[in-house]
């Protein structure tokens, strides 16, 4: 067996790039940005090696679901190994992480003037931690990276944030850390029970999949995992850190948070919670779907009520990630495909919106919508781009978000009609807040003109335009040819579905009233191949 070093190389490049950027800035007083850019490009190029799997030229080796994996002993005392692996889902998440990292770097190229080297150190280390999270297949290693990504993110908010940055940073950290300690307890308990049953001490994800747990214990452990991921997602009522953290973070930090860090929660649910505890997840699904639907509505309502543009976008994230939760716990292929698509599309559209708010704040030094207005006249390019991403966010057909939300609703309708109906109202809410934001900021009379002190507002420069337009193109592509994403993610989801359906059937034999639900969901999977032809 040959050692495949691609995955650790990606992580190592990001870690090393971060250190180099810091040192370069400290001793040469410049050079941190090119170093950050080069290391991100290198990492992306390394990831590009897996393109063959995407286009279907190379199929995974028989007997293993991974495209690539590496396993080294780390702490044999506890059966902990340094186990990295990538499959379709992991690849999508990695691609999102690195490309959004690049986007955030390029679009805020000139924003950071204070201690720039240390900024890019934190930026790259956050990305390295996230890459680790998306590739770690050892639960201990997963938790390790889960924590490693937090500290640099904390510093990004606390040092380069806006007015209430320290408060927001501490709140962000305590929420995520306290919940992840619950997860650590659940992980340790899971491993311990597995060890008692099978005599094999391991943190290996694939071996733990076969752990035999009593239903009550599994339910508690599942809750431990769910808590940690729900905080990250964020789901009501654990979302309160998010508006503060997003609002106070610098633009690049907001992009990282919204586009990438939130996805770690959804990824964790899909990768770990659902397959590890299928019976408990089926039992818990109605609760989780209700939470998801309420998050959708709640996020939309609160977004509608904001005056601060960044807070508006932050609350819209709560709403959009509610769809992800809803889709994941609908427990059928279509809805989960929709949730994965939503993770990607939301990453793109929200990152772009944060970048736009950041660009506005950079030019006008305010994000208060009551002080903005009529910007279309002075900033036509920026306004047009903003319009595009606002309608993407509200789910205009033809863009990625529409496919995602449509599939989630389609899939979850089979599982639970009333919850889906409630969540659908959220789409109306999305239209309301997105259009309201456009109307207040870009149309109407020019309230801002009196306070600009005669300076000319500079429209988007080529760098920003290219970065934003490439995201727009990606969203259109996702909207027109979503099949590619579905095909890549399908094996991972199918594997989870096998476990979940087995669990659903075993529950069904006990409770006859669940019959209808599983019958409906087993009728769906053929339909998803037609989605590729939607406009």
| Alpha helix ranges (H) inside 365-482 | 375-378, 380-393, 400-415, 417-442, 462-480
For other proteins, the closer CB: 224 or 373: 224
Residue 39: C-alpha distances to residues 17, 129, 238, 358, 486 (Å): 6, 15, 35, 24, 29
Residue 167: C-alpha distances to residues 134, 157, 159, 173, 249 (Å): 29, 10, 12, 10, 11
501: part of which helix (H) or strand (E)? helix 483-510
Backbone angles phi, psi at 253, to 5 degrees: -65, -40
**Interacting residue with other proteins among 19, 42, 46, 170 (CB under 8 A):** 170
- Using CB under 8 A as the criterion, what x/- string covers residues 95-124 for binding other proteins? -------------------xx--x------
Per CB under 8 A, does 189 bind other proteins? yes
Residue 380: C-alpha distances to residues 7, 386, 439 (Å): 43, 10, 14
**Interacting residue with other proteins among 173, 205, 402, 442 (CB under 8 A):** 173
**Interacting residue with other proteins among 40, 136, 148, 422 (CB under 8 A):** 148
Per CB under 8 A, does 75 bind other proteins? yes
For other proteins, the closer CB: 178 or 498: 178
**Interacting residue with other proteins among 42, 109, 111, 144 (CB under 8 A):** 144
Per CB under 8 A, does 71 bind other proteins? no
Per CB under 8 A, does 159 bind other proteins? yes
For other proteins, the closer CB: 2 or 196: 196
**Interacting residue with other proteins among 43, 70, 169, 394 (CB under 8 A):** 169
- Using CB under 8 A as the criterion, what x/- string covers residues 201-240 for binding other proteins? ----------------------------------------
For other proteins, the closer CB: 132 or 299: 132
With CA atoms as reference, report the closest residue to 386 among 371, 370, 369, 403.
369
85: part of which helix (H) or strand (E)? strand 80-86
Tally DSSP H helices, then E strands, for the chain.
24, 2
For other proteins, the closer CB: 83 or 376: 83
For other proteins, the closer CB: 151 or 436: 151
Beta carbons within 8 Å of 390's beta carbon, 6+ residues apart: 353, 434, 435, 437, 438
Number of residues that bind other proteins (CB under 8 A): 34
Per CB under 8 A, does 72 bind other proteins? no
Torsion sign, CA atoms 466, 472, 92, 184: positive
Per CB under 8 A, does 427 bind other proteins? no
525, 333 Cβ separation under 8 angstroms: yes
Q: Which of residues 348-387 bind other proteins (CB under 8 A)?
A: none
Per CB under 8 A, does 443 bind other proteins? no
Strand partners, 136: 84
Q: Side-chain half-sphere of 392: how many Cα atoms within 13 Å?
A: 29
Chain positions contacting other proteins, by CB under 8 A: 26, 74-78, 114-115, 118, 140, 143-144, 147-148, 150-151, 154-155, 158-159, 166, 169-170, 173-174, 177-178, 181-182, 184-185, 188-189, 192
């Amino acid at each position: 067996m040959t050692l495949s070093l691609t995955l650790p190389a990606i992580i190592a490049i990001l870690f090393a790039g971060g250190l180099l950027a810091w040192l370069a800035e400290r001793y040469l007083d410049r050079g941190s940005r090119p170093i950050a850019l080069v290391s991100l490009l290198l990492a992306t190029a390394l990831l590009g090696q897996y393109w063959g799997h995407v286009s279907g030229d190379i199929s995974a080796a028989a007997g293993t679901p991974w495209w690539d994996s590496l396993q080294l002993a780390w702490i044999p005392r506890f059966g902990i190994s340094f186990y990295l692996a990538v499959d379709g889902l992991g690849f999508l998440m990695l691609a999102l992480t690195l490309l959004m990292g690049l986007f955030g770097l390029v679009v805020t190229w000139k924003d950071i003037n204070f201690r720039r080297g240390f900024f890019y150190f934190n930026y790259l280390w956050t990305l390295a931690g996230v890459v680790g999270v998306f590739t770690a297949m050892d639960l201990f290693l997963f938790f390790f990276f889960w924590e490693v990504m937090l500290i640099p993110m904390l510093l990004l908010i606390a040092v380069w944030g806006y007015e209430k940055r320290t408060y927001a940073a501490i709140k962000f950290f305590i929420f995520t850390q306290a919940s992840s300690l619950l997860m650590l307890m659940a992980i340790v308990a899971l491993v311990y029970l597995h060890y008692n049953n099978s005599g094999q001490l391991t943190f290996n994800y694939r071996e733990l999949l076969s752990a035999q747990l009593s239903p009550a214990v599994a339910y508690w452990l599942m809750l431990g995992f769910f808590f940690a991921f729900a905080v990250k997602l964020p789901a009501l009522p654990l979302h309160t850190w998010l508006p503060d953290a997003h609002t106070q973070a610098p633009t690049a930090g907001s992009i990282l948070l919204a586009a990438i860090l939130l996805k770690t929660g959804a990824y964790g649910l899909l990768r770990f919670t659902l397959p590890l505890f299928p019976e408990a997840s089926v039992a818990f699904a109605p609760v989780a779907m209700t939470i998801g639907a309420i998050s959708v509505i709640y996020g939309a309502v609160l977004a509608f009520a904001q005056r601060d543009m960044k807070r508006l976008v932050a609350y819209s994230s709560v709403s959009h990630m509610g769809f992800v939760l809803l889709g994941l716990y609908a427990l059928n292929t279509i809805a989960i495909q929709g949730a994965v698509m939503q993770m990607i599309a939301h990453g793109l559209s929200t990152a772009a919106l944060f970048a736009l708010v950041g660009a506005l704040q950079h030019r006008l030094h305010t994000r208060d919508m009551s002080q903005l207005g009529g910007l279309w006249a002075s900033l036509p390019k920026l306004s047009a781009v903003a319009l595009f991403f606002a309608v993407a966010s509200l789910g205009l057909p033809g863009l990625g978000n529409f496919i995602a939300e449509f599939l989630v609703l389609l899939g979850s309708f089979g599982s639970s009609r009333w919850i889906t109906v409630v969540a659908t109202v959220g789409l109306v809410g999305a239209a309301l807040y997105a259009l309201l934001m456009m109307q207040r900021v870009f149309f109407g009379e020019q309230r801002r003109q009196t306070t600009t002190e005669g300076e000319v507002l500079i429209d988007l420069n080529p760098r920003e335009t290219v970065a934003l337009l490439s995201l727009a193109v990606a969203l259109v592509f996702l909207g027109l040819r979503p099949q590619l994403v579905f095909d890549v993610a399908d094996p991972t989801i199918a594997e989870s579905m096998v476990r979940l359906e087995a669990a659903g059937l075993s529950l069904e034999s006990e409770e006859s009233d669940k019959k209808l639900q599983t019958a409906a969901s087993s009728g769906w999977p053929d339909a998803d191949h037609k989605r590729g032809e939607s406009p």
